Each structure stands twice: as C-alpha cells, then as structure tokens.
Amino acid sequence: NAGVTQTPKFRVLKTGQSMTLLCAQDMNHEYMYWYRQDPGMGLRLIHYSVGEGTTAKGEVPDGYNVSRLKKQNFLLGLESAAPSQTSVYFCASSLSATGAVNTEAFFGQGTRLTVV
Amino acid sequence: GDSVTQMEGPVTLSEEAFLTINCTYTATGYPSLFWYVQYPGEGLQLLLKATKADDKGSNKGFEATYRKETTSFHLEKGSVQVSDSAVYFCALSESKLIFGTGTRLQVFP
C-alpha cells in the first residue's frame, strides 16, 4: 500500500550541482504534481503533468525541469542548483483535477533539499 | 489566473473553542475546493472537499461550505482539540491543483 513515494528524503547539494528527485505512484493516477514548500509561502506549484508524456509549467518553474516518461513516475530535475532552491519538495498525484469524484490528491512525505 | 487566499496565522485557541479559518478564491470556471491538513513532519492529507456551489464538505467535526456568491470556502469547527494543532491549507482544482499559503493552528489545553 505504498501510495506516493519520493526519493531521496534528504539531500545536501553544493551550488551548481545537479540532481533528480523521483516521485512514484502506484494508484494509476493521471495527474502528478511537484510543489515546493517554504515558510510563509505555502505550497507553490512548480510543474505538473496531466498524463504520461505530458508536462506543464506551474507558478514557479524557473530552474527546474520535469519528465513523465512512464505514467507512474514523475521526475523533477535541478540542472544547476542555487541556494534559493533550498526548500521542502512535495510530490502529489490524483486521478483527476475536476469533477465530483476522484479529485483527491495524495502526497508523498517530502524531500528536504539544502543547497549550500 | 486561479488563486487562493487564506488568513494568516498562527491561530491560537484554547481547547473546546470555536474555529474559523477564512479562505477565498479566484477562478475562471467552476473549481472543486478542498481543505488539506499537514501534521508536523508529514505530507498533506485531504480533510474535506466540495465540488459544486452550496455543497458542504465535512470530516472529523470540521465543515466548509462552497459559497459561489462570495467565492469563499471557510473552515469551521465547533470545538477544537489539542490534536487538531496542524497547518491547514485551502486549495482549488480546476485544470490543476493550487494552494493557499496555509494557516497554522495551535490549540492549548
């Protein structure tokens, strides 16, 4: 009963390094999301996907890239990390975005990233 | 674009007090509305939802009514407990799921 799994859970990067965060869901959900959570800023949407092979920009996409090659996985990449990207990153998935059913989003436990 | 505005916290209450956390939204169409809760060190989990005007979502004693005329979805609970201490997020979903800034609730015995 895994739900949404994020790896890694913690990471420290040096400025300029690259890394990929992996999000995996086993619920056959169409929609997947990446958010960052910063104090006083709530959850801000970075990128999202409405199905396998699709991606779209959210509110704060600069400095990040994503890919959804397989339906169950949604990868978030940082090509050249900056201290401003220090944050807690959450992945979420849902079956749908609208309608009366199946709009509940399920969240991973988060990845705490520090860029020094 | 779509947006969610919720009251800033922290909200500090004594046990058994009445809770209201205000939330208003801006959307172009007819979004679904949600309240999510985040306990310390955890991800978010759905508390309640409403998918059309005048719907009332409820769960664990919490309630919120979808008010299209005032574009609001205020969260209420008649008697809070210490275990309700958490961060509460209002959210809307139309073409994508977006959140407000969150409101921290602290309940003291």
Candidates A55, A92, A97; CA nearest to A77 is A55
The pLDDT assigned to A116 comes to 97
Cβ atoms of B69 and B77 within 8 Å: the answer is: no
Confidence of residue A6 (pLDDT cuts 50, 70, 90): very high
Cβ atoms of A90 and B82 within 8 Å: the answer is: no
B29 vs B108, residue with greater confidence: B108
B63 vs A100, residue with greater confidence: B63
Confidence of residue A93 (pLDDT cuts 50, 70, 90): very high
Interface test with B, best of A23, A43, A59 (most B CBs within 10 A): A43
Lowest-confidence pick of A101-105, B6-10, B84-88:
A101-105
CB contact under 8 A, B96 and A59: no
For chain A, the C-alpha Rg in angstroms (whole number) is: 14
CA distance B52 to chain A (A): 8
B57 interfacial to chain A (CB closer than 8 Å): no
- Please report, as a single letter, which amino acid is at residue A114: T
Percentage of chain B beyond pLDDT 70 is 100
CB contact under 8 A, A42 and B46: no
C-alpha span between A109 and B48 (Å, rounded): 20
Tokens of B20: 């209201």
A2 interfacial to chain B (CB closer than 8 Å): no
The pLDDT assigned to B26 comes to 95
Residue A1 has pLDDT above 70, yes or no: no
Tokens of A27: 């619920």
Contacts of B102 in chain A (CB under 8 A): 42-43
The pLDDT assigned to A96 comes to 81
Give the mean pLDDT of A8-33.
Answer: 96
- Average pLDDT of every residue of chain A: 93
Query: Which spans in chain B are helix H?
Result: none
Residue B58 has pLDDT above 70, yes or no: yes
Look at the block and give the residue holding tokens 């869901």: A25
